[in-house]
A and B are shown apart, each in its own frame.
Chain A
Amino acid sequence: MNAPDRRIRKKTGDSFLFEFEGRSITAWPGETVAAALIASGHYNLRTAEDQSNRGLFCGIGMCWECRCVVDGNPNTRACMTEVKPGMIVRRQHGVG
């Protein structure tokens, strides 16, 4: 099955790749990590201390539910972080 693409129309500019949990994901300039992940069908961004899975919630940077590990930095909000070519994103487990 092909990865879904939930962009409402074709974006301008050159796409690039970044990594999420070891997989290559396509993104466009100006997109947030959350937008690029959701556009390709990835919702589960974190495992909380009670082992529950979490993802984007408020979408505007207030709730911090979408925090994941970006280029080694834990507690990075996917919804507020612009995705860059070659960025390495992984799920956060607990605090890191």
Chain B
Amino acid sequence: MPLHVVIVGAGPAGMAAAIEARRRGSKVTLLDEMARSGGQIFRQSAIDSELRVGLPSELKRKADLLSGFNAISDQIDYRANHTAYALFEGPELHVSDDNCSEVLKPDVVIIATGVCERAVPFPGWTLPGVVNVGGAQTLLKSQGVKIGERVVIAGSGALPIAVAAQLSKAGVHVVAVAMLYPMRSLLVHPYALWAGRRVVLEGFSYLNVLRQHDILMLSRYVPLRADGSDHVESVQIAQHDGTGRPVPGTEKRVGCDILALNYGFTVNSELAAMAGVDMTYRPEQGGWIPITDQFCRTSCSGVLVAGDSGGLRGAWVAQAEGRIAGAVASRYYDERAVSNLSQEMSQSFKERSRHQSFQKAMQQFLQLPTGVWGWADEETVVCRCECVTQKQIQTAIDNGHTSLNAIKRNTRAGMGWCGGRMCMQNVAAQVSVGKPSEDLQPMTPRPVARPISLQAIRNQTIP
């Protein structure tokens, strides 16, 4: 009997898992929240199939994966615009579209839900026109719309560089790119050079694009504040002292109509947590990370995690790991067949570990130095949904509420639409300043993983 494998998320990991599981004869259901497959990194245009944003090498990777996926997409149950909103032991997965929901009881669930972007609060970061860099990229890739005319980018890691290059090529004036760490030092890191040749080449070609467009590249710079009335008009940036604290006297004001930010990522791990998977807190990898073995298996029977939702690892790892997860899922209940896979798929295992070493080297550039937590002033909103300020959270901490659950109940931080995705890592940082944070518990994971209407829940089919 072929196993029924449900995959959540149609990014690189999910698509690769679907291809592999299908190839091995499994019955595959693939769910994705978006209208088109590809995930955040390989996003396809909603409007213009000819729209090409990205470097040739990246576009080729995307084209290869998409064509592999298209070859099997009619052999699987692929559901776009579907949200997985709860996962229970079993596994039992609850999914919905806008109007209906369904309970799926497959043999195996592969969670490949990726990450969302993280920003650090500072005065003015809630102004319209202050966005995540990925949001600017999505608007360009998927909609063919420039986010603004004069864009300042601030962040850490590789994504801000890539997006700066993509926006420039599309004709947006990127006024300045203010990076927490010097980018070049990352790219010439010997370990990175060896392990991630292809990624490094991509990185260098992005830097070349920025040079060709004569864009102001500022290393060791941080945002101080964004100003504007109903829309950002300028941003003040400054050099930092190596720990993220701005150095007085180095302030610069830059006019812009968009400020795009990225200070790392938050993994979408709430389904795994809800099912009771053992987790660990690793801020530089994206927050609360499901613990997996080399076969992507978790502590919860029938639940696998692949790609970035298992901790930030990048699209190359995601693709290799998706293949592994798809194969493991297809043989999940045959221990011997699973252990043979490390031989049988040695190529994928090698590729994963090679890129994982690169990502490990990368992670030091996503580790936020403690000084960034001083950017917000007392009045800065930390929880955007519920308008909870830094001062309110600090007062709660000072009153002895030091668990995230207690802070949530005391301040409402994390009670809004985003489910704490945008603020909880920042609240966690505020709580654990000067304290080890590995043991910091997340908010109690409960349904629902995404807002879902009462009518969609009521209109439920149970197989």
Q: Note whether A and B contact each other (Cβ less than 8 A).
A: yes
Listed in ascending order, the chain A residues whose CB lies under 8 Å from chain B are 4, 6-9, 11-12, 28-32, 34-35, 38-39, 43-45, 48-50, 52-65, 67, 75, 79
Contact bitstring B375-409, A, C-beta under 8 A = 1, else 0: 00000010011110000000000000000000000
Shortest Cβ distance from A62 into B: residue: B116
B145 contacts A52, C-beta separation under 8 Å: no
Q: How far is the CA of A62 from the CA of B451 in the complex (A)?
A: 10
Answer whether residue B161 sits at the interface, using C-beta atoms and an 8 A cutoff: no
CB distance from A13 to the nearest CB of B (A): 8
Residues of B within 8 A of A (CB): 33-34, 40, 46-48, 51, 116-117, 126-132, 134-140, 143-149, 170-171, 230-231, 381, 384-387, 416-418, 421-422, 451
Q: Which of B130, B143, B230 contacts A57 (CB 8 A)?
A: B130
Distance to closest chain B CB from A37 (angstroms)? 10
Q: Is the CB of B128 within 8 A of A54?
A: yes
A63 touches B418 (CB 8 A): yes
With A6-B148, A50-B387, A60-B138: A44-B422 Cβ-Cβ less than 8 Å: no
Interface majority SS (helix, strand, loop, mixed), chain A: loop
Q: Is the CB–CB distance between A35 and B143 below 8 Å? A: yes
Judge whether B128 and A53 touch: CB under 8 Å.
yes
Measured CA separation A67–B417 after assembly (Å):
10
Inter-chain contacts of A4 with B (CB < 8 A): 149
Q: Is the CB of B134 within 8 A of A58?
A: yes
Nearest A residue to B126, CB-CB: A52
CA distance A20 to B61 in the complex (A): 39
Report if A64-B139 is in contact (Cβ < 8 Å); known contacts: A30-B47, A55-B129, A59-B131.
no
How far in angstroms is the closest Cβ of chain A from B83? 10
Query: Shortest beta-carbon distance, B47 to chain A, in Å?
Result: 4
Say how far B265's CB is from chain A's closest CB, in angstroms.
11
- What are the residues of chain B within 8 A of A29 when measuring CB–CB? 47
By a CB distance below 8 angstroms, the chain B residues around A52 are 126-127, 381, 387
- The residue of chain A having its C-beta at the shortest distance from the C-beta of B33 within the complex is A61
Alpha-carbon separation in the docked complex, A32 to B46 (Å): 9
Give CA–CA (A80, B218) in the complex, Å.
34
